[in-house]
Structures are given as C-alpha cells and as structure tokens.
C-alpha cells in the first residue's frame, strides 16, 4: 500500500534557525520536537516498553477502560485528528470503540515514522480513511480540510502536553478548538504529579535508552547541520524541578567544549547544559483551568488506581 504523506511546509532551514537560536541563549536550549527524527521516534517507541516508564502502560489501561464511554458520548461518523501520532497505537482503542468512525488524520513532525504508522492503521481499519499529515502542530498547524459531516475528535495522548510551556498549551488548545469547531471533542492524556523516586527513573532508565534518545538530537545536528558534537563529551541528565513541577532533560558537557553547527562556533563550560525537554506533571484543577481558558469544558476525567495519569474528554464551547 502506498501512503502519501502530505507534508505541511516543514523545511530544513526551520530546524537550522531554531537550533542556532537555541544554542545562542544563555541557557542553551533545543526544542523537543527535534528529538523525533526516524531514529528518535524508534527510540521513543523503545522507551514506552521500559519497566521504569509507567506512562504508556498506565495510559493504555485507562484508555481501555474509558473508550466505550467516551465513544458513546461522541457518537457515530467521527473524524479523529491525532496531534503527534507517533506509532498510532493508542488511537486503536478509540477506533475500536467508536461507531462507524469516518476518518483518521495523523499529524506528526517525524515524516517517515508517520508513513509507517498510518500504513498499519489503513491495513487494519480498511473501512476508514487514514491520512498522514507531516507537520508541526505547534508553530504551523497544518490546514486539514475537514469533512463538514460528523463529530470532530482531537486526540492528544502520551502527555505530549507536558512538553509544552503554559503559553504553548493555551495556544495549542485554543488552536485545536478553532480548528475542530464548537461541539468538537478532545481526548487528552496528561501525566500527574507524583514522587521524584518514580519520576526520575522513568526519564533516566537503567538500560540507558532515554540517554540515547536525548543524545540523538546531537547525532541529528551532526548529520543534518554539519555539527561537530563529540557525543562522549555529553551526558544525559534528568532533573526534577519541584517549583516548576516538571522533569527536565539536559545534556551536560563533561569538560569545556568548542563545537560548530552550520558553520557557527559555540562554546560551553564544563558542567554547562543544553536543555532539551520538559515533562510537566499536572494536577486535576490545573488541567481543568488550562482547558477552561482555552475554550474547552472537561466532561470526563479518568485516572488509574494509583492516580499516576489522567485521560480526559473535553468538549469545545
């Protein structure tokens, strides 16, 4: 089967501009969206299977429990739009529960990986249209050309929301509400606050897969932007910030560094870090408020027995 990935204006210079700007800040920063090239996407899939990474297993359990109830509320003939689809595994719970779903649109920045994921959905659900859209849902939301018929359902699992800043969350949720329209739905998965003893191993596993995932951004810069990072000079760090309620991923320089990216020279002192990702942990009220100010009402809120993770059904006002 040949799936054409509709590419929504994603170009190389955007990567270069963003990386050069991030490395020029006093706290060097790289946006987490660049972690997901093909190798990064595969490493993320591996992370989801690690014993320490409770996130995926817990969310899947909740989705298995609540999908029929959510589907009954949504009704037949739905179009599902997944933002950051990854391997498009969790959406199967919704597709199985919904009455005669009409279309599945998968948006992801990781083009090749997206093609594979949508191909497998198309093979397993021949009765629905499955459409990959390669693009950035945050900075340039792609135009989706949605069918006017049937309910529209956004799907944003994996606590990808926790990778965004407060402003980005509001902008994203408001944008999705605008894109999907009034009376649309959003199925949102968010990780909840818990002890650092559980959180840190989830982002710094014993097998070192998360470290490889984090360092892959340097591999990508070396390959795509003529970078000269020596990977052995950087170590993976996962740090819990109580004040910001988030796990931060950094790459710490083991000694003084000089490196080039796209012809520009950069310096780092020993111990200085490049901040690559935040994974914010939420409380229920906070999620309720973020949804509320962005045009959504929380109509269902479900957690697992341990209260580790929440899956919500939001309805557009």
Ligand X SMILES: C[S@@+](CC[C@H](N)C(=O)[O-])C[C@H]1O[C@@H](n2cnc3c(N)ncnc32)[C@H](O)[C@@H]1O
* Residues binding ligand X (CB under 6 A): 33, 36, 41, 44, 84-86, 90, 107-110, 136-138, 157-158, 160
- Closest approach of ligand X to the CB of residue 161, in Å: 10
Closest approach, Cβ 32 to ligand X, in A, equals 6
Sorted by sequence, the CB contacts under 8 Å of residue 283 that are 6+ apart come out as 192, 193
With beta carbons less than 8 A apart as the criterion, state whether 19 and 261 touch.
Answer: yes
Q: Please say which residue, 41 or 184, places its beta carbon nearer to ligand X.
A: 41
Shorter beta-carbon distance to ligand X: residue 116 or 272 = 116
- Rank residues 101 and 158 by Cβ distance to ligand X and give the closer one: 158
CA neighbor of 275 nearest in space, from 14, 13, 26: 26
Q: Reduced to 3 states, what is the DSSP secondary structure of residue 171?
A: helix
**Minimum separation from the CB atom of position 272 to ligand X (A):** 25
Q: Is 120 exposed, middle or buried (0-12, 13-18, 19+ CB in 10 A)?
A: middle
CB of 271 to ligand X, least distance (A): 28
* Other Cβ atoms closer than 10 A to 290: 20
Q: Closer to ligand X by CB, 33 or 215: give it.
A: 33
Q: Would residue 86 be called left, alpha or beta, if left means φ above 0 and alpha means ψ between -120 and 50 degrees?
A: left
- For the bound state, the minimum distance from the C-beta of residue 63 to ligand X, rounded and expressed in Å, comes to 10
By beta-carbon proximity to ligand X, the closer residue of 106 and 268 is 106
Kindly report the number of other CB atoms within 10 A of residue 49's CB atom. 10
Nearer to ligand X, 188 or 268 (CB): 188
**155 vs 234 by CB, closer to ligand X:** 155
For the CB of residue 154, give the shortest distance to ligand X in the complex, in Å: 12
- Closest among 189, 158, 202 to 41, alpha carbons compared: 158
Residues 6+ apart with CB under 8 A from 210: 47, 50, 203, 204, 236, 238, 249
Eight-class DSSP state of 39? H
Residues in the chain: 317
User: Nearest Cα to 82, choosing from 128, 38, 126, 37?
Assistant: 128
Using DSSP, state whether 138 is helix, strand or coil. Answer: coil
Nearest alpha-carbon partner for 106 in 125, 121, 123: 121
Please state the closest distance from residue 193 (CB atom) to ligand X, in A: 18
**Nearer to ligand X by C-beta: 103 or 136?**
136
Closer residue to ligand X in complex, CB, 36/70: 36
Shortest Å distance, C-beta 243 to ligand X:
23
Q: What's the closest the beta carbon of residue 4 comes to ligand X, in angstroms?
A: 18
**φ, ψ (nearest 5 deg) of residue 230:** -95, 110
- What is the bridge-based pairing of β-strands 28-29 and 273-280? parallel
Cα separation, 303 vs 311, whole angstroms:
6
């Amino acid at each position: 089967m040949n799936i054409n990935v509709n590419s929504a204006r994603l170009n190389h210079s955007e990567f270069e501009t963003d990386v050069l700007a991030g490395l020029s800040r006093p706290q060097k920063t790289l946006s987490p969206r660049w972690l997901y090239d093909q190798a990064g996407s595969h490493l993320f899939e591996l992370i989801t299977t690690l014993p320490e990474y409770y996130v995926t297993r817990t969310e899947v359990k909740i989705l298995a429990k609540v999908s029929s109830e959510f589907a009954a509320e949504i009704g037949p003939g739905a179009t599902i739009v997944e933002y950051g689809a990854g391997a498009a595994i969790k959406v199967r719970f919704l597709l199985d529960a919904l009455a005669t779903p009409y279309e599945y649109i998968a948006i992801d920045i990781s083009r090749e990986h997206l093609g594979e994921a949508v191909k497998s959905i198309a093979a397993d659900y021949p009765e629905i249209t499955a459409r990959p859209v390669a693009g950035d849902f945050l900075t340039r939301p792609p135009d989706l050309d949605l069918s006017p018929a049937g309910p529209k359902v956004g799907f944003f699992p994996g606590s990808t929301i926790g990778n965004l800043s407060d402003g980005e969350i509001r902008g994203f949720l408001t944008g999705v509400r605008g894109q999907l329209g009034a009376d649309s739905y959003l199925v949102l998965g968010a990780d909840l606050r818990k002890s650092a003893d559980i959180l840190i191993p989830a982002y710094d596993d014993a097998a070192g897969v998360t470290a490889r995932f984090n360092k892959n951004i340097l591999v990508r810069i070396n390959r795509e932007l003529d970078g000269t990072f020596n990977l052995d000079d950087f170590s993976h760090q996962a740090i819990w910030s109580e004040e910001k309620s988030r796990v931060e991923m950094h790459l710490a320089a083991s000694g003084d560094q000089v490196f080039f990216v796209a012809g520009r020279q950069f310096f780092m002192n020993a111990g200085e870090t490049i901040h690559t990702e935040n994974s914010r942990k939420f409380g229920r009220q906070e999620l309720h408020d973020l949804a509320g100010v962005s045009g959504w009402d929380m109509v269902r809120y479900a957690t697992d027995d341990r209260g580790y993770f929440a899956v919500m059904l939001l309805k557009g006002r």
